[in-house]
Amino acid sequence: MSTYIIAVIFAAVMLLFAALISNAIKYEGGAKPRDPLRRKIWFLVLGVINPIVFYCVAVFVMAPTNKVQYNKWMDSLPIATGVGFVVYVLLGFILSRMFKNGKLGNWF
């Protein structure tokens, strides 16, 4: 499977985790609720963790053992990691605009 496809799938899974965590955070009442900030922080933390974990898993778990395939894999891995991060942010932005009155709307 292509490195880029795996990166996009990994970003979608991390985005799913971010959505689950955001929905698990309860609404706070009052004049200055802190729940929107918590949702935004969790989204950003998972956004930073996404490329780090993907790169580590790709290097240590999914890397091919054949030297030629390994070199091709390592050449495309940094670009795929960046693509995964961009997909995470882009899909997160789209979801936050789609659900702007819900809990996911606090991401941006």
Its pTM stands at 0.91
pLDDT in tens, 21-47: 999 999 888 888 999 999 999 999 999
Please compute the mean of the pLDDT values over residues 14-27 and round it to a whole number.
95
CA neighbours closer than 13 Å in the CB half-sphere of residue 42: 21
Coil, strand or helix at 25: coil
CA 23, CA 100: separation in Å to the nearest integer?
13
Angle at 85 between CA 78 and CA 5, to 5 degrees: 70
Longest CA–CA span in the chain (Å) reads 60
What residues contact residue 35 under an 8 Å CB cut-off, 6+ apart? Answer: 25, 26, 27, 28, 106
- What pLDDT shows up at residue 31? 87
Whether 85 and 21 have beta carbons less than 8 Å apart is answered as: no
Does residue 91 register a pLDDT over 90?
Answer: yes
Look at the block and give the residue holding tokens 């605009």: 97
Q: What percent of the chain has pLDDT over 90?
A: 82
